[in-house]
Amino acid sequence: MIHVPTNILLVDDEKDFVEMLSMRLEDAGDKVTPAYDGNMCLETLKDTPIDVIILDIKMPGMDGIQTLREIKSRYPLIEVILLTGHGTTETAIQGMKLGAFDYLLKPADFEELKSILDRAKQRKAEQDERIRKAEARQLLRKGGNI
């Protein structure tokens, strides 16, 4: 089976963590773009195609929940997985109510993270496909073929 790389944006203020997890994800065949705070995340999204964001909740400046709100208001189809090492599960659940796909506690089990990433990527692909089909139907209607 061919593995299609997931375009992942990894957002965490701990640079060593970002570097280590990026290497593991890239070794698994994914493409990782790092960001070290919420503002850098939002700037990256302006010109980089992303399937899934792995987002730390506890960051200085714009925290993960604020960043999630901005992501979902600007890019509602991008799936977000929250990571927390400092926050509580209540904060992660709040994030899921705001549109996050799922959450993991740090240190996250890599196989569990990969499983959640695969499900998030699948959900995004299904949403994208439904949108493409709706747009195609709309074009056909406008052309008078339906």
106-119: string of b/e by CB count within 10 Å (b at 16+)? eebeeeebbebbee
Residue 47: what pLDDT?
A: 95
Residue 79: what pLDDT?
A: 97
User: What's the whole-number mean pLDDT along residues 98-108?
Assistant: 92
Q: What is the pLDDT of residues 26-70, one digit of tens each?
A: 999 999 999 999 999 999 999 999 999 999 999 999 999 999 999
Q: Among residues 37, 35, 61, which one has the least CA distance to residue 48?
A: 35
- Taking the C-alpha atoms of residue 55 and residue 133, their distance in angstroms, rounded to an integer, is 30
Mapping DSSP to helix (H, G, I), strand (E, B) and coil, where does residue 103 land? strand
Residue 84: what pLDDT?
A: 86
Q: What is the pLDDT of residues 73-96, one digit of tens each?
A: 999 999 999 998 765 688 888 999
Q: Residue 45: CB partners within 8 Å, gap ≥ 6?
A: 9, 71, 74, 75, 78
Band of residue 144 on the pLDDT scale cut at 50, 70, 90: low
Residue 4: what pLDDT?
A: 77
Residue 1: what pLDDT?
A: 59
Chain mean pLDDT for the chain: 92
Residue 145: what pLDDT?
A: 58
Host H or E run for residue 82: strand 79-84
- Whether residue 107 is predicted with pLDDT greater than 90 in this model: the reply is no
Total-model pTM:
0.90
Q: Which domains does the chain have, with CATH numbers?
A: 7-142 (3.40.50.2300)
Host H or E run for residue 123: helix 110-142
Residue 85: what pLDDT?
A: 75
Residue 34: what pLDDT?
A: 98
Residue 141: what pLDDT?
A: 87
